[in-house]
A = this chain, B = another copy of it.
Amino acid sequence: MPSVNQHLIARRLGISQSTVAGALANQPRFRLETRKRVLAEASRLGYRPHRFAQVMRQGRSGFIGMIQCAGHMQLSAQRSQLVAREVHGNGYQLLSSDAFWFGDEEKTACEVMIDACVEGVVLVSPTFSFDALRQAGIPVVALSGSRQPGAPQVRANIRQGMHDLTRHVIGLGRRRLALLTQWPLGPRDEAACYYVSERIEGFLEASRESGLGEGQAEVCIEDYSDPESNTYQVGKISMRKILERKRQPDAVLCSNDEWATGALAACKEAGVRVPEDIALTGFDNLLASGYGAVPLTTVAQPIEPMAKKAVEILLGQIRNGEGASPRKVIKMPCEVIVRHSCGSPRQEPDPITDPTRRMRS
């Protein structure tokens, strides 16, 4: 397709194609002058080697694939951007696609990758199993998302993040905590859904450590299965249910920032003040979270080091031929981002002297 090829350069210089090939590869066996002439003519004509021909000849494509699930979510988008930078930094081209682009989800995405002869694939927040890739002998690494059979995974230490966040909230004097979370729609095996189960574990662990008793640390598992409604909406509806109760928590820990944003809206609607009446937290530290009506206290994942590590592992697999890390899981530490949605430290609220509780009828 590129109209200017080695043959053309050769003809214009009155030499043979293979000489051009050798000169372009800077093989020392050619006279320096010849090499210079070839290079000059090549750049003058705007020569670019035909990648596809190179691939056919060399066997390796120089492509690394990236498949995201739900790249429209901000966190996923941030991750993929960092992966891309890392891939390019290592001299590869990136072929990216989104599983949601296709009707039949993961199947087509895998075929695209296989067809393009990618040397490896980074799965960004996968929600399906992409076993077809491994069966085709392509090295794979998962960056967050669900666990992939036989592939290493780099992910955040959700448990530690939730643990630290819970302790922070308790440290501010809150005593009736609720964790708002949701099982994913797909299969619920523990390994795949670590991001749910670790949130719960970290939450309960921190509560126990702080001496919170029965009913002081409640886990609310929402089973909201309408795939049409967006994440904010789910958070809003879930929070409404909590606000309808007789006895309300004084802190609600949401499983992500979108939920928390929706929950905030529900509070506002109901006349419940944040953080005075109820403390609210998110997870993931989205860009918007610091700039809403109530800046969110949340947990940040180390997305940059995570992306770096994932690509590093993949390249290791490609080079060492699968010899690197077989079924390893690398957990990287989260950090609590303190903003305004939990307020300042406060005493155990005295139900008699404290007039701030429950403004709604």
Q: Which of B61, B112, B291 contacts A93 (CB 8 A)?
A: B112
Q: Is A290 interfacial (CB 8 A cutoff)?
A: yes
A255 at the interface (CB under 8 A from B): no
Contact B94 A291 (CB under 8 A): no
Interface hub of A115, A230, A262 (most chain B Cβ within 10 A): A115
Interface residues of A (CB under 8 A from B): 1-2, 48, 50-53, 55-56, 59-61, 71-72, 74, 77-78, 80-81, 84-85, 88, 93-98, 100-102, 108, 111-112, 114-117, 230-233, 235-236, 258, 261-262, 264-265, 268, 287-288, 290-295
Contact between A292 and B293 (Cβ–Cβ < 8 Å)?
Answer: yes
Q: What residues of B have a CB within 8 angstroms of the CB of A102 in the complex?
A: 88
Complex alpha-carbon distance, A270 and B60, angstroms = 60
11 A-B pairs, CB-CB below 8 angstroms? A1-B117, A51-B116, A52-B56, A52-B61, A53-B56, A72-B77, A84-B98, A88-B102, A94-B101, A231-B287, A232-B288
Q: How long is the Cα–Cα vector from A100 to B52 in the complex, in angstroms? A: 25
Closest to A95 in B: B95
**Cβ distance A12 to chain B, nearest Cβ, rounded Å:** 20
Q: Establish whether residues A233 and B291, one from each chain, have CB atoms under 8 Å apart when the complex forms.
A: yes
Closest residue of chain B to A60, judged by CB? B1
Q: Nearest 7 A-B pairs (CB), nearest first?
A: A293-B293, A232-B291, A84-B101, A52-B52, A72-B77, A51-B115, A1-B117
Contact A85 B114, CB 8 Å, known A78-B72, A232-B290, A292-B264: no
CB nearest to A58 among chain B residues: B1
